[in-house]
Amino acid sequence: MPVETLPQRRFRGRPRGRDLPPVALAALRQLLGDERSDPTLRRRDLLIEHLHVIQDDQGHLPLVALRALATYMNLPMAAVYETATFYAHFDVVHDDQAPPPAVTVRVCDSLSCQLAGAATLRAELEEGVDPQAVRVVRAPCMGRCETAPVVEVGHHHVQFATLEGVEAVVDTGHFHPEAIVWQRLADYRAEGGYGLLADCREGRVTVEALMETLERANLRGLGGAGFPTFKKWRSVRQEPGPRYCAINADEGEPGTFKDRYYLERSPHRFLEGALVSAWAVEACALYIYLRDEYPGLHRVLHAAIAELEAAGLVPPGYIVLRRGAGAYICGEESAMIESLEGKPGKPRHRPPFVAQQGLFDRPTLVNNVETVTWIPLIWQKGADWFAGHGRHGRTGLRSFSLSGRVRRPGVHLAPAGITLKELLEEYGGGMAEGHRLAGYLPGGASGGILPASKADLPLDFDTLQAEGCFIGSAAIIVLSDQDDLRAVATNLLAFFADESCGQCTPCRVGTEKMLTLPEREKWHVEQLERLSRVMMDASICGLGQAAPNPVLGLLRDFRGELAAQHVIVKG
């Protein structure tokens, strides 16, 4: 039998995909450094940092630059593209697209800014600027709710923004630099700063003694969950090393700005508390994840860390400062870990928990900025001093980010368990002129909405659950009788729909559906409640689980007000 002749196999002469111009890779090496002589530049966890450098240099991310970066880091183009398009602050421009205008104006559309007229301001800006030269876009909370409305021009904030003020900045290019007056290392050490860190390192303070103090003080996680700090330390210490410590400074909850407040004033007290936390779990490195909306704080922390390294208090490179890229979901600890590793910030399935398998798959202690900032002060003044504050059966101190219809918005340090009525009268200066209290958000967008009739509830952990709310990061947004509750709900639901990472169907589809239902003339209670149950029961993380809270709060406590605003509630 004759042997059949097989067709000759052909091989591709080059890899699949578009050709990469050599000049693009050469330009990238000029910008980032030569990875051939320094292979550490190829580490996957540097991907987002590299994207920031390109974005800052060019004002956007050309697709050819992403292809060059994929070659540079020896990563699939799909991985680079997925990460670049996940984050709101990266502008990916395809080959057939024109780059964005040289100037981008971001108008904050969080609830506090909406109450201050941000929607009208954005419409005026869109009408008044040249779209070929200036791009006007809406943006989520910028963490400056006490100076609403807030606009970002380039990477500079315009506070108490007006049309004339923003136009002047755009036309002249002149910015008033953010005046951050922070305590330098020498001044902090002069008042005993870094004494606790020295005592810990030299054996005069043990981990057990420090954890016992934090337990007596009842210091809890102040980023939202409220988990006892000493328990978190203990769970990480039980895992085999090497271990890491990561500080979550990505406070993206609308209405929250307390972490920014402390970092701007006392960066070294924060750093000491973070370093003590890292020491407690014997972390091989300390990572700080700071939101990109705080450019001034990036400069402050870089300078403060440089002071520590120059003084020999930490070895160079032990503290790693990383920059977020505009993703609220990265406030969730496992999503933050993913972002620190240079990936899209999508929450992980649990277990394992990050205390068991976190950064680089190693046990990781994750703490909030304010939480660690309290540690040196609690040790200095004693657990009884901290726990001695409190009202209505609660103990400790809370930092309330107060905004909305109040005379004195800002961060107010007050006793845990204080009521909204007391907070307004004693700290906030009362309601704004001409406004009467109608309701309030006790924990930002995800904490729910309570009516004025419940302004006597203690504001603390474990006190609001019976009302279907929680205090979270203590972001208090005050509403008045002049506010449209339907518009308030729509604003909050639009935020969740924008910020869903899209990983799980209950949240990805549910947030979009939840946004459309209240926009109808008639609210169908059964549909809203059924959708809410599915989202709360089946979403992977807290975003999808908490997204229905604004609507559920209105249905529970504001039916009369909704009817008065011609919103017909059926069911």
CATH number of residue 256's parent domain = 3.40.50.11540
Residues 223, 362, single domain; the answer is yes
Question: Residue 176: its pLDDT value, please?
Answer: 67
CA distance 167 to 121: 11
Given 157, 177, 198, the domain boundary residue is: 157
Taking residues 290-306, what's their average pLDDT?
95
Other beta carbons within 10 angstroms of residue 401's beta carbon come to: 28
For the stretch 435-465, pLDDT in tens is 999 999 999 999 999 999 999 999 999 999 9
When pLDDT is averaged across residues 320-337 and rounded to a whole number, the result is: 96
Q: What is the CA radius of gyration of the chain?
A: 25
CB atoms within 10 A of CB 493: 24
pLDDT digits (tens, 9 = 90+) for 508-545: 999 999 999 888 878 888 889 999 999 999 999 999 99
Question: Do 152 and 280 lie in a common domain?
Answer: no
Residue 311 lies in a domain: yes
- What are the structure tokens assigned to 534, written together? 């599915």
Query: How far is 440 from 503, CA to CA, in rounded Å?
Result: 31
Number of domains, the chain: 5
Question: Are 139 and 62 contained in the same domain?
Answer: no
Q: Answer yes or no: is 5 within a domain.
A: no
**What are residue 272's DSSP bridge partners?**
none
DSSP 458: B
Phi, psi of 145 (to 5 degrees): -65, -25
Query: 149-153, 275-279, 562-566: which range is least confident on average?
Result: 562-566
- The whole-angstrom separation of Cα 290 and Cα 312 is 24
DSSP conformation class of 414: E
CATH code of the domain in which 53 resides: 1.10.10
Residue 367, Cβ density class (10 Å: 0-12 exposed, 13-18 middle, ≥19 buried) = buried
Domain identity same for 341 and 224: yes
Same domain, 31 and 62: yes
**Is the pLDDT assigned to residue 571 strictly greater than 80?**
no
Classify residue 552: in a domain, yes or no.
yes
- How far, in Å, CA of 348 to CA of 353, rounded? 9
Q: Is residue 356 one of the residues assigned to a domain?
A: yes
Question: Which tokens is 378 given?
Answer: 């609690």
Looking at the fold, whether 418 and 468 belong to one and the same domain comes out as yes
Claim to verify: residue 192 and residue 46 sit in the same structural domain: no
Does the residue 354 lie in any domain?
A: yes
Could you give the CA distance from residue 338 to residue 350 in angstroms, rounded to a whole number?
14
Q: In what order do the strands lie in the sheet with 243-249?
A: 319-323, 283-290, 243-249, 364-368
Burial of 251 (0-12, 13-18, 19+ CB in 10 A): buried
pLDDT in tens, 75-87: 999 999 999 999 9
Whether residue 468 is found in the same domain as residue 521: no
* Residue whose structure tokens are 């009302």: 467
The span from the CA of 404 to the CA of 113, in Å, is 8
Asked if residue 36 is part of any domain, the answer here is yes
Q: What's the mean per-residue pLDDT of the chain?
A: 93
Tell me, yes or no, whether 465 lies in a domain.
yes
Distance CA 426, CA 443 (A): 19
Q: Domain residues for 562? A: 485-570
Among candidate residues 359, 346, 323, 344, the one with its CA nearest the CA of residue 78: 344
Spatial contact of 110 and 147, defined as CB atoms under 8 Å apart: no
H or E segment and range at residue 197: helix 195-201
Joined tokens for residue 433: 């002129």
- H or E element, residue 438: strand 437-441
Q: What is the DSSP string of 203-250?
A: TSS-HHHHHHHHHHHT-B-TTTT--BHHHHHHHHHTSPSPEEEEEEE-
For residues 468 and 490, state if they share a domain. no
Residues 431, 59: Cα–Cα separation, whole Å: 42
Question: In Å, how far are 106, 283, 316, 482 from 127, measured between CA atoms?
Answer: 15, 53, 50, 27
Q: Same domain for 341 and 257?
A: yes
Whether 13 shows a pLDDT value over 60: the answer reads no
Q: In Å, how far are 475, 512, 520, 551, 564 from 569, measured between CA atoms? A: 29, 20, 10, 12, 11
Contact 427, 501 (CB under 8 A): no
Same domain, 474 and 375: no
Do 69 and 24 contact (CB within 8 A), yes or no? no
- Residue 2 has a pLDDT of 54
Least confident span in 91-95, 435-439, 555-559: 555-559
CATH number at residue 467: 3.10.20.600
pLDDT score of 1 more than 70: no
Question: Which is more confidently placed, 524 or 134?
Answer: 134
pTM over 0.75: yes
* Same domain, residue pair 48 and 196: no
Nearest to 440 by CA among 432, 431, 449: 449
Closest CA to 114 of 150, 82, 81: 150
- How high is the pLDDT of residue 550? 93
Cα separation of 295 and 154, whole Å? Answer: 11
pLDDT band at 224 (very low <50, low <70, confident <90, very high): confident
Closest Cα partner for 289 from 227, 335, 255?
Answer: 335
Residue 76 CA to residue 54 CA, distance in Å, equals 18
pLDDT of 10 reads 59
In this structure, of 19-33, 169-183, 248-262, 474-488, the range with the lowest mean pLDDT score is 169-183
Which of 43, 58, 93 is where one domain is finished? 93
Contact 41, 47 (CB under 8 A): no
Does residue 272 form part of some domain? yes
Average pLDDT over residues 104-133: 94
Reported as a pLDDT band with limits 50, 70 and 90, residue 220 is very high
The torsion angle over the Cα atoms of residues 371, 374, 379 and 380, rounded to 10 degrees, is: 170
H-helix segments, 311-419: 333-340, 369-381, 383-387
431: which DSSP letter? B
Q: Of 93, 127, 146, which residue sits at a domain end?
A: 93
> Measured at the alpha carbon of residue 153, what is the angle toward residues 139 and 142, in degrees to the nearest 5?
40
- Helix, strand or coil, per DSSP, at residue 182: coil
Distances (CA, A) of 158 to 170, 222, 301, 414: 11, 28, 22, 29
Q: What is the CATH number of the domain that holds 496?
A: 1.20.1440.230
Compute the residue count for the chain: 571
CATH no. for residue 153?
3.40.30.10
Q: Are strands 319-323 and 283-290 parallel, antiparallel or unpaired?
A: parallel
Residue 92 β-bridge partners: 61
